[in-house]
Amino acid sequence: MRGQFHRVGEAADLLGVSVPTVKDLVRKKKLRAFRTPGGQLRVLADSLEELQQGPAVRSAREPSPVLQNKRERVEELGLEAQELRAGHEIRKLRQEDAAEARQKRADRQESARQAEQEAQRLELERQQLEIERHERAEHARAQAALRDFRQRWLAHADKRVTGFPGLCFRCPWLTPAQTKELAQALEAEIAKRSPDDEPRMQRIIEDIVDTFLAPLEILREIRRRREQALDRMLLKMSVSRTDSERVRAKALAREALRQVPLDATDDELLSKVQDAIAPISRAIEEREAREKREAAKQELIRWASITVGSYRRELHDERSITRQEASDEKLWAEITEDVRDELSQKLTGDESSEEVKELIHAVVDEAFDLEAPKEDQE
């Protein structure tokens, strides 16, 4: 069967046309084709050969009864394949319907079983809830006096700790988390007490507050001293520091302070901070020095134009250059630009005005091929 027909793509390759062109030839009856049970288009090989060979050969082969029988057999086989496929699909659907019905029956049975189990579980839960309700009622009656005691002292502790919501009456610097922690500590202590402790409850609450605040006050003082040391050292940094450098210095200083013992003196704190930010301070000083030299260099380069002009008059007065050379503005503009380039390459910003002047004279002398003075040569 494979050798008697071609797929649409194969037919298109053999004819050297596109797939839509092959389908159009089939639609116009210029190519004979059939569809498979799956709906795929197949082109008969002999029809393709006839189209390739031309009208003369095709007309000569059309009356062939063998070819006609083959064509009819192919169509008949195609119909039979479709019928077989349809029958197979129908049987498959029936089997699926039967399996689905069985599954539904099994699901209903399982649902009924689960519903019965759920009803039993709910009944057990109801009985358990009844027991728990009875136990809770007994426990509530047994704890009534203790609850009243705790509520009264909890209200007292709340007034003792907070003057306003979230604010410690004694220490307003406590964070909300610390205030909450203190309240929880008082609540935990009150929870351990009974009405027998009534005469001592005031002192118990004061002791808890003092015990809680003592280490926090010490840590607060330590942090204050460290922040003070940090601020003092940052103030000593150059005012030209960038925001990035300030942030980096602060981070390095804080990291260094974390490694200092809690009992360190103020001098030790300052020394540690100074050592930590020393690299950044040096970098700032080096940058300021570079910027200063660069500013000096640019100022010397700007000063070069004046120096070139005065040297131009000096050369003319000494008759080292002609009047025409002295009045050639284009030439002197090029010389001035050469001077600027030379200074940009050689100056560091540390040179004196005399050194720069000598360098400018050398560039101008070279432009006019003038000999240096004898003292310069020596």
Mean pLDDT of 86-100: 70
Residue 1 pLDDT exceeds 60: no
Give the span between the Cα atoms of 51 and 26, in whole angstroms: 11
Total residue length of the chain: 378
Residues 12, 89, single domain; the answer is yes
In a domain, 277, yes or no: yes
Q: Are 34 and 44 in contact (CB under 8 A)?
A: yes
In a domain, 338, yes or no: yes
More confident residue, 114 or 238: 114
pLDDT of the residue at 86: 56
Residues 296, 356, single domain; the answer is yes
In a domain, 139, yes or no: no
Chosen domain end from 286, 309, 336: 286
Q: Are 368 and 320 in contact (CB under 8 A)?
A: yes
Stretch among 27-31, 109-113, 170-174 having the lowest mean pLDDT: 170-174
Give the span between the Cα atoms of 107 and 229, in whole angstroms: 77
pLDDT of the residue at 238: 65
DSSP notation for 314-353: HHHHTTSS-HHHHH-HHHHHHHHHHHHHHHHHH--S---H
Q: What pLDDT, in 10s, does the model give residues 145-169? A: 889 988 888 887 777 666 544 445 5
CA dist 142 → 42, 117, 148, 191, 198 (Å): 92, 37, 12, 15, 19
In a domain, 25, yes or no: yes
pLDDT bracket for residue 82 (50, 70, 90): low
Residue 72 pLDDT exceeds 70: no
Share of the chain above pLDDT 70, in %: 83
Residues 277, 296, single domain; the answer is no
The owner of tokens 């280490």 is 215
pLDDT bracket for residue 68 (50, 70, 90): low
Chosen domain end from 286, 306, 327: 286
More confident residue, 224 or 54: 224
In a domain, 119, yes or no: no
Residues 253, 206, single domain; the answer is no
Share of the chain above pLDDT 90, in %: 3
Residue 9 pLDDT exceeds 70: yes
Residue 239 pLDDT exceeds 60: yes
In a domain, 335, yes or no: yes
State the total domains in the chain.
Answer: 4
pLDDT bracket for residue 205 (50, 70, 90): confident
Residues 329, 373, single domain; the answer is yes
Q: What pLDDT, in 10s, does the model give residues 286-328? A: 888 888 888 888 888 888 888 888 988 988 888 888 889 888 8
pLDDT of the residue at 231: 80
Indicate the Cα dihedral angle 147, 149, 152, 153, nearest 10°.
Answer: -110
Give the span between the Cα atoms of 17 and 11, in whole angstroms: 8
Q: Are 266 and 225 in contact (CB under 8 A)?
A: yes
Residue 44 pLDDT exceeds 80: yes
Strand partners, 140: none
Q: Are 372 and 359 in contact (CB under 8 A)?
A: no
Backbone angles phi, psi at 140, to 5 degrees: -65, -40
pLDDT of the residue at 162: 66
Reported pTM: 0.36
CA 216, 218, 221, 225 dihedral sign is negative
Residues 208, 239, single domain; the answer is no
pLDDT of the residue at 320: 87
The one-letter amino acid code at 213 reads L
Give the span between the Cα atoms of 220 and 312, in whole angstroms: 73
Give the HSE-up count for residue 330: Cα atoms under 13 Å, Cβ half-sphere.
Answer: 0
Q: What is the mean pLDDT of the chain?
A: 80
Q: Are 220 and 174 in contact (CB under 8 A)?
A: no
Residues 318, 372, single domain; the answer is yes
Residue 375 pLDDT exceeds 70: no
Mean pLDDT of 78-90: 66
Residue 60 pLDDT exceeds 60: no
Range(s) of the domain holding residue 85: 2-98
Give the span between the Cα atoms of 36 and 356, in whole angstroms: 98
Q: Are 190 and 154 in contact (CB under 8 A)?
A: yes
Residues 303, 217, single domain; the answer is no
In a domain, 130, yes or no: no
Residues 306, 366, single domain; the answer is yes
Residues 281, 309, single domain; the answer is no
Residues 309, 321, single domain; the answer is yes
Q: Are 36 and 21 in contact (CB under 8 A)?
A: no
pLDDT of the residue at 21: 92
Residues 158, 174, single domain; the answer is yes
- Listed ranges 6-15, 178-187, 241-250; the one with the highest mean pLDDT: 6-15
Residue 376 pLDDT exceeds 50: no
Mean pLDDT of 179-197: 87
Give the span between the Cα atoms of 76 and 34, in whole angstroms: 10
Give the span between the Cα atoms of 343 and 304, in whole angstroms: 9
In a domain, 106, yes or no: no
Q: Are 253 and 270 in contact (CB under 8 A)?
A: no
pLDDT of the residue at 67: 60
Going by DSSP bridges, is the β-strand pair 33-35/5-7 parallel, antiparallel, or unpaired? unpaired
